[in-house]
Amino acid sequence: MSFLIDPPLLVASGAAYGKAEGPRPRAAAAATIALFWSVGVALYRERRWGREFMINSGVLRIPYDPEATRTHLAAAAAFATYPLWLLLGWKLARG
């Protein structure tokens, strides 16, 4: 889980749920968002390596101050987009 990896995974999940019928896909979508948020926030709060992984995903080198308010606000904004990524996948699957 990271800010680079999560959006494509959420779009793919949304597309899978969008193809399904009935009430279960909506419940699964809500559970998926809850899972991504809980794991992502837990990783972000882990100061040793989790925040670095959430921001840079092990491949980028974005400079940031790990304790700066702007870093936390940017992370909160990224987490806030998670339902939108899932919804995008859902809409793409439904046409």
pLDDT on residue 74: 95
pLDDT on residue 71: 94
Range 14-20 average pLDDT: 96
Domain map (residue ranges) of the chain: 6-94
Pick from 14, 60, 68, 69: nearest CA to 36: 14
pLDDT digits (tens, 9 = 90+) for 49-89: 899 999 999 899 999 998 899 999 999 999 999 999 999 99
| 3-state SS, residue 24 | helix
pLDDT on residue 95: 84
Q: Are the beta carbons of 85 and 7 closer than 8 angstroms?
A: yes
